[in-house]
Copies of this chain bind each other. A is one copy, B any other.
Amino acid sequence: MFPTERRKRITIKDVAQTAGVSTQTVSRVMNKFSYVSDETRQRVEKVVEQLGYHPSTLARSLIQQRSYTLGVVTFGLKYIGPSRTLNGIADKADELGYMLLIKELDNFDTNRIGDVIDSLLARQVDGIIWVAPEIGNNHTWVDERMDRISVPVLFLAMRPRHNIPSIATDNYQGAVMAIQHLLDCGRKKIGHISGPLGWWEANERKRGWCETLNAADFDTSEQHCAEGNWSSSSGEQAFIQLLDSFPDMDAIFVGNDQMALSVLREAHRRGIRVPEELTVVGFDNIPESAFFYPSLTTVSQDLQLLGEQAVQNVVEMIQAGQGNKSIIAQSRFIQPTLIVRESSKIV
């Protein structure tokens, strides 16, 4: 069998030669810059069309020191959260004319992180968006290494740090809203199933639960909460444990919707009526949560928007850097909203 015929790339030189002009003129036509006579422009454009010429972004990036590409570092793409964020990033990037170079982390080894960043920089990305969650001290490298990175880096879902730009959902406020809502429902014994407490986000949610209850003069002892790992199955475990350690609980704030799903199921199995005997509030507002039985009241975080703002922000930083202006690095929060559904509707 013959080798697959791979057509040779058509370069600016081919166009120039065919059109009988210099490459510079072709470049001028392609970039709609400066002076080209109408006649020449048309001739060149015709040749471009005929040959099917497309400029090499690669070569352009090299000379311009600018690639119109953003690096995106993600973790846990198989979960719905990161991919919704990525969706927002992709949309906005497209709108602003950037492409995305994606790297997925499978661990937080510091060497690995260095390598990932280097490989992005080696490809001349104009900026980097960090979409990996802060867990334990897996972000400590940030403080030491950030100034060695030559392009803007924006962190998502990271605890705000001085002088480092970041955007996150206000998990604390979300939790506050959830608890406030439960209090408004007249609930007085509110338990909590948290995500893994190594996660900054899980911690923030728990803090919201804790502080709001304390402010209302309610108790938040360790018997009133349990820790899961975000998965439905861990939620089930945690709920069973909680039923034991906090038997007269009349409401529960669950760290995410997946875990809340098993709470609903287990409650159902045991004949605990939701919301009458147990009022349930989740977090995240995954699309399915509106179709749980009963439908789940939850805190909705707009991850799509998070992604979009991230791109907007990085691009602003890039442009500021180009113009030699400086943007003050800031941490920003996006406010979540409470979606009230059957699991907390007391008639």
Contacts and interface: CB of A to CB of B under 8 A. Distances in A.
Nearest to A294: B265
A2 B290 CA distance: 51
Nearest to A120: B99
A271 interface: no
Interface string A88-132: 001100100001111110100000000000110111100000000
Contact of A104 (B55, B87, B231): B87
A23 interface: no
Contacts of A232: 287-288, 290-291
Interface stretch (A57-65, A210-218, A277-285, A330-338): A57-65
A171 interface: no
A288 B258 contact: yes
A262 B233 contact: no
A228 to B, nearest CB: 12
Contacts of A269: 293
Contacts of A61: 58
B78 A304 contact: yes
A77 B90 contact: yes
A291 B236 contact: yes
A74 to B, nearest CB: 8
A270 to B, nearest CB: 12
Q: How many copies does the complex hold?
A: 2
Nearest to A149: B7
Contact of A99 (B6, B58, B59, B101): B101
A325 interface: yes
Contacts of A102: 90, 99-102
Contact-residue size bin, chain A (C-beta under 8 Å from the other chain): 35 or more
A291 B69 CA distance: 41
A108 to B, nearest CB: 15
Nearest to A264: B293
A119 B54 CA distance: 9
A342 to B, nearest CB: 11
A42 interface: no
A345 to B, nearest CB: 15
B293 A6 contact: no
A319 interface: no
Contacts of A4: 320-321, 326
Nearest to A99: B101
Nearest to A8: B150
Contacts of A124: 56, 58
A162 to B, nearest CB: 15
A247 interface: no
A188 B1 CA distance: 52
A105 to B, nearest CB: 9
Contacts of A292: 261, 265
5 contacts: A58-B58, A59-B62, A83-B83, A232-B288, A233-B290
Top 8 nearest A-B pairs (CB, nearest first) are A83-B83, A90-B104, A232-B291, A57-B122, A77-B87, A78-B87, A3-B324, A265-B293
